[in-house]
Structure 1
Amino acid sequence: MVSSQLGSGVRPTRVRYAMLGLIACGTLINYLDRTILGVAAPMLTRELGINAALMGVIFSAFSWSYAAAQVPGGAFLDRFGTRLTYVLSVGFWSLFTLCQAFVSGITGLIGLRLALGVAESPCFPANSRVVATWFPRDERAFATGVYTVGEYIGLAFLSPLLFAAIAHFGWRSLFVGAGAVGLGFALIWWKHYRDPRESRANQAELDAIVAGGALLDQPLRQRFDWNAAGRLLQTRQMWGICLGQFAGNSTLVFFLTWFPTYLANERHMDWLKIGFFAVAPFIAASVGVLFGGWWSDRMLARGHSPNVARKLPIILGLLLASSIVAANFVQSDTLVIAILSLAFFAQGMAALGWTLVSDLAPEGMLGVTGGVFNLAANLAGIVTPLVVGAIVAATGSFFYALAFIGGVALLGAFSYIFILGDVRRIVLD
């Protein structure tokens, strides 16, 4: 942890927590904008005449472009830095969200989802860079948990409001509200975010975070090196974390896309009941993220190796996330929500992969490493909605869909146990 006072007697400022607050808010808006389609889906599908298989394609469309733009987005980040990259990303994704309120057909909706994916692609590599440059090593897992909780907290506490808005104003109102909030945040980001050397942080804080392993002085504006990127893709560590994150994201994507439809169609809940029950799993996931980050940093501070401190919460989380299949065998709505909440809590624990990106990325390649990692992670955003949609369309049930999600979680645990290897910075010869 950063010492409260250095040899000079000057107390370090705590500007890094303000920067963390900014990326936490950005992540909340990011996930709200990409996931309100799932909230709108039961009503939208009826209005536009969309069946389950086609809705799976629409859910998946975001991740086609999001995954494809990860490496270019990471390269842009390495070239132009965090502040400019993030404000352009937020501004454009918010505009595309707003435009979804005015679609009248499937083609326009798919086109805007593709554009949204491109615009959002640099967000998480940028988040990872902020944590790596602003935070010492033994605070990174908790910092990662704090901004990652934005993936869940928006829907956790806004779900009743979102479903009430649908009931009173229709599904289009969700996109208007979310887009407007995002455009406002873009202005806040541009005004307040700075990299460490350009910020209000005093020298005591800068010295302390550098002493703790923050990558403050590494070159931040790199040209893309195709040869280095190719060698990165050949490393065991990248394959391990990419496959593991794909598995963890599969559970997350289910909750962000098909979960409201599952409650409405499989469990036959009305709008108010869905809004009430949808809160619990997202709150559980929020707690899981923060707990996993706290536990990881605590183990590291107590002298456990990075292999134990970084990997154990993720592995246990993925193993426990596979319990989602138990929802197939109970009838009580309350018990179903309890099972899904446990599985989503566990997925939150497993969502610390971005901490490993900070620990493993070669010097000068945080953006590209994060882009490759997020590319693999968000292949789940392509595969999972399509597979679930196809299963539901073919069987009329979510039974085998939940079995698929549980099986993929077990595959992720296998990857972190047997493929990843040692947690140490990758050195490219």
Structure 2
Amino acid sequence: MKRKIPVYFWFPVLGCIVGGTFFMSFPPVADQFMTLFGVGYAGLSVLFSILYWSHSLCQMPGGLIVDRLGVARSLIVCLAVMIVTNLVPFIAPGSLSLAIAMRVVLGLVTGAYFLVMIKIIKILTPPVHVARMQGMHGAAFCLGTLVPYLYLPPAGAYGWAAAYLSGAILCVVVGLCMFRLPLERLRETRETDSFSQVLKTVKKIATSKDIWLMGICHGFFFGSINTFGNWLPSILADIRANSTPEDWAAATGVMLFIGTMGRVFGSEIMGLMTRWQLITRVMLLIGVFYWVLAFCANPVLFFCLCLVLALLCGLTFASVFTLLIEIALPAYVSSTMGFMSMLANLVNILLILLWGTAREYTGNFSYALCVSGTCALVVWLWARKRNPEKALAGKAPS
């Protein structure tokens, strides 16, 4: 008898792949958008990062909305708005203000959308498989960021249009697949706490040093992969003369794929060391790698080092999210995830803006890599002094 793939596996994976495509739908055809909107590298960094800004700012309120509104209703609203934001730009394709406005709205909605996927995993997945599913959830997002590098360059001069249209089509696919979920179980997840209780919970989450630290660390893990996903083609084009960012699109796709594989296998290595040991060791390596990359003048070596870095960053995903799920209050998993993700996205935004601005005004990315590496080492020193895993021994995060 043929064995069915459980819905708690394939639906969050599909949903996160689709969500991931939005975050890399512009970089593969960056030159087209630069020409379309008449902007340079600094302007392009704003266009790239604006989605992350709104995405990060919506994480905490998005978590509260999902916790109180329920998973099913939240998902329907998110999909509907995401379809609209990908179709409206066709009204005035050359309007930078319209494109930015739609990216802002898209970021706000994806902030809640990914929290819906996390909560679906928590509700439907047997406890023994939660760690593996969190790793798959992260891997699916990374795989989604890789997908635009496969289909946008072949679209030629219409790559910018394909970037928008594909997003709307993929949202329709997720919406149709949603009817395979056990919707009754998802509707039963609404919370009815009083407003004062919600405020107390928000205060507890927002003042937790452990959650702040985990958010910043995850910002460097997730942010390193995303920032290289945005800027690696430009960096390699700078290093190798007479090449363009489009020439390195496939190489960037490989890097994102390696990060995806890291997330897939991250849960499998959790038995070799504690989760916090893995997190702190990778933080140290990020700082070291950034400094090495800042002075690397060989494109092949630079690319190979990026592959290793992407793999290391991907390995941490399951550790970060399973640790946070166990620390979070059961009724406010989405809110806790949202706050941590907000911090991570802010770090990611700062990296994207720093690298693009440094390239615009210094002519290369070396200074940005040095600054990023120094910041990573400072965070590593902080991480060595704390261990949020101790909260699982009966202490609340402090």
TM-score, reference length from structure 2: 0.87
Deviation, structure 1 residue 137: 4.6
Is the counterpart of residue 261 in structure 1 residue 234 in structure 2? yes
Q: Which residue of structure 1 aligns with residue 373 of structure 2? A: 406
TM-score, reference length from structure 1: 0.81
Alignment of 1:7-406 (within 5 A): 17-101=6-90, 102-156=92-146, 159-165=149-155, 167=156, 169-189=158-178, 191-194=179-182, 197=185, 220-223=190-193, 225-268=198-241, 269-270=243-244, 273-296=247-270, 298-299=271-272, 308-322=273-287, 323-352=289-318, 353-406=320-373
Taking the aligned partners of 1:82 and 1:256, their CA distance within structure 2 comes to: 30
Distance 1:197 1:83, change over 3 A: closer
List alignment gaps of at least 5 residues for structure 2: none
Q: Return the letter of the residue paired with 1:310.
A: R
List alignment gaps of at least 5 residues for structure 1: 1-12, 200-216, 300-307
> Is the CA contact (8 Å cut-off) linking 1:321 and 1:344 kept in structure 2?
no
Secondary structure in 2 matching 1:149: helix
> Is the CA contact (8 Å cut-off) linking 1:254 and 1:385 kept in structure 2?
yes
Q: How many residues align?
A: 387
Taking the aligned partners of 1:140 and 1:274, their CA distance within structure 2 comes to: 36
Taking the aligned partners of 2:339 and 2:380, their CA distance within structure 1 comes to: 20
Deviation, structure 1 residue 313: 2.7
Deviation, structure 1 residue 21: 1.5
Distance 1:157 1:93, change over 3 A: closer
Taking the aligned partners of 2:81 and 2:205, their CA distance within structure 1 comes to: 30
Distance 1:394 1:187, change over 3 A: same
Superposed CA deviations along residues 108-140 of structure 1, whole A, max 9, x for unmatched, are 121111111111111332233233333355432
Runs (4+) of structure 1 exceeding 4 A deviation are 195-199, 425-429
Superposed CA deviations along residues 339-389 of structure 1, whole A, max 9, x for unmatched, are 111111111112232222211101311121111111111112432222112
Distance 1:411 1:146, change over 3 A: farther
Deviation, structure 1 residue 265: 4.3
Secondary structure in 1 matching 2:25: helix
Taking the aligned partners of 2:147 and 2:98, their CA distance within structure 1 comes to: 30
Distance 1:278 1:257, change over 3 A: closer
Deviation, structure 1 residue 68: 1.8
Q: Return the letter of the residue paired with 1:274.
A: W
Taking the aligned partners of 2:217 and 2:311, their CA distance within structure 1 comes to: 17
Aligned-CA RMSD value:
2.8
> Is the CA contact (8 Å cut-off) linking 1:74 and 1:367 kept in structure 2?
yes
- Quick check: which one's helix share is greater? 2
Q: Return the letter of the residue paired with 1:311.
A: W
